[in-house]
Structure 1
Amino acid sequence: MSRLDSMLRRLSAQRDGLNWAADQVAGVAGDVLDLGLGNGRTYDHIREILPHRRIWVIDRVLQCHPSCEPPEEDFLMGEAAPMLAELGRRSDGIALAHYDLGRGIKDEDVAEAAKLSEDLAQVMVPGGMIVSGQPLVGFEQVTGPDSIAPDRYLFYRT
């Protein structure tokens, strides 16, 4: 599979997974978290599918497209672990989280996700969902939508 085809498959899975997860948490109270803003495409999509939820964003730097900048009060800039702790103090809880941290070095990305799993668990509400590109630990993994190949994206219920 070409890198272009792989990217298209990943982006489709991400979109389908977020749409599915948003439906899953329709009756769950809480905010939304985009962990890893990047250029802001995912954040922009979350704003569209969950317009009435507060969307928190955590990233090391703000370098997204100008149309995708989160409000200053919802953007926590810095390393993920201390920013998740700050989020725990500022939010009443997260109903849906999108985990998209990583540098593309699989072993390092998997280790970071495992390390951050406990911090992420501290901000999630019961019955919440996590959509993740990396395996997380300590959560109940669930099967996502049929349109997504197994292990392309991972889904967890809290």
Structure 2
Amino acid sequence: MSRLDSMRRRLSAQIDGLNWAAEQVQGIDGDVLELGLGNGRTYDHLREVLPERRIWVIDRVLQPHPSCVPPAENFLQGEADDMLATLAKTDAKCALAHYDFGFGVKDLDVAEGARLSPLIAALMVPGGLVVSQQPLVGLTQISGPDTIDPERYLFYRAP
């Protein structure tokens, strides 16, 4: 499969997964956590499908498309561990989190996901969902929508 075809599959899975998760968290109180802003496409989608929710965003740098800059009070810039710890000191609790960090090196990505998992889990409300491109630990893996290859995107429910 070409890299372009792979990207199309990834984007389709991301859209389907986030739409599915947004429906699943209806009726569950809590904010949204976007881990990895990048150019802001996913953040933009989340604010469209969950307009009533506060969306916290964590990333090392702020360089999205100008239309996708989160409000300053919702953006935590720095290393994920530190920013998750900072967020944990607030009253923020999340019904949905989207984990989109990655180095592009499988071993590094898996290690980072495992390291950050307890910090993410601590911010989730019971029954909240985490949508992730990387494997996480300490959360219950569940099946997502049938349109998504289970190896492409992973879905977790907070205890």
Normalised by the size of structure 1, how large is the TM-score? 0.98
Change (3 A) 1:37 1:91: farther
Q: Secondary structure at the match of 1:130?
A: strand
Residue 102 of structure 1 is matched in structure 2 by 102
Contact 1:57 1:76 in 2 (8 A): yes
Shift, 1:113, TM fit: 0.4
Contact 1:58 1:83 in 2 (8 A): yes
Q: Which runs of 4+ in 1 moved over 4 A?
A: none
Q: Distance in 1 between matches of 2:42 and 2:18?
A: 9
Unaligned 5+ residue runs, structure 1? none
Normalised by the size of structure 2, how large is the TM-score? 0.98
Residue 126 of structure 2 is matched in structure 1 by 126
Q: Give per-residue Cα distances to partners, 1:11-69, cap 9 Å, x unaligned.
A: 00001000000111101100000000001000000010000000000000101111000
Counting only pairs closer than 5 Å after superposition, residues 7-156 of structure 1 correspond to structure 2 as 7-156=7-156
Write the letter of the residue equivalent to 1:120.
I
Shift, 1:92, TM fit: 3.0
Shift, 1:88, TM fit: 1.3
Q: RMSD in angstroms over aligned alpha carbons?
A: 0.7
Q: Secondary structure at the match of 1:146?
A: coil
Q: Give per-residue Cα distances to partners, 1:70-124, cap 9 Å, x unaligned.
A: 0000000000011011111224301000000011111101100000001111111
Q: Secondary structure at the match of 2:102?
A: coil
Write the letter of the residue equivalent to 2:3.
R
Q: Distance in 2 between matches of 1:108 and 1:92?
A: 28
Number of aligned pairs? 158
Q: Secondary structure at the match of 1:114?
A: helix
Q: Secondary structure at the match of 2:111?
A: helix
Aligned-pair identity (%): 70
Q: Distance in 1 between matches of 2:140 and 2:103?
A: 25
Unaligned 5+ residue runs, structure 2? none
